[in-house]
Homo-oligomer: A and B are copies of this chain.
Amino acid sequence: MIITFMSDFGTKDGYVGSVKGVLLKEAPDARLIDITHEIQPFNIKEAAYSLLNYYDSFPKGTVHLIVVDPGVGSERKPVIIRTLDYFFVGPDNGVFNFILKREAYQAFEIRPEVVNPQSFSNTFHGRDIFAPTAALLAKGIKPEEIAMPLERVVIDDHQELKLENNTCKAAVVSVDHFGNIIFALSREDLKHWKKVIKLVNFKNFKSDRIWDYYAQQKVGKPLVLWNSKNMLEIALSQGHAANYFKVDPKKDFALIELSDVTEKVENN
Q: Give the B-binding residues of A (Cβ under 8 A).
A: 2, 4, 6, 9-22, 24-25, 28, 31-42, 46, 49-54, 56-59, 62, 70-74, 121-124, 127-128, 174, 176-178, 212-216, 225, 227-228, 238
Contact = CB atoms under 8 A, between A and B. Distances in A.
A111 B258 CA distance: 37
Nearest to A21: B57
Nearest to A13: B176
Given A17-B57, A32-B33, A71-B215, 20 more contacts: A10-B36, A12-B38, A15-B228, A16-B54, A17-B36, A18-B54, A19-B57, A20-B35, A20-B54, A24-B31, A25-B59, A41-B178, A70-B238, A73-B213, A73-B216, A74-B213, A74-B215, A123-B213, A123-B225, A123-B227
A50 B10 CA distance: 12
A124 B13 CA distance: 24
Contact of A17 (B42, B53, B73, B216): B53
Contacts of A16: 35-36, 54
B177 A73 contact: no
A91 B177 CA distance: 20
Contacts of A13: 49-50, 53, 174, 176-177
B24 A11 contact: no
B12 A212 contact: no
A212 B10 CA distance: 23
A43 B264 CA distance: 40
Contacts of A22: 57
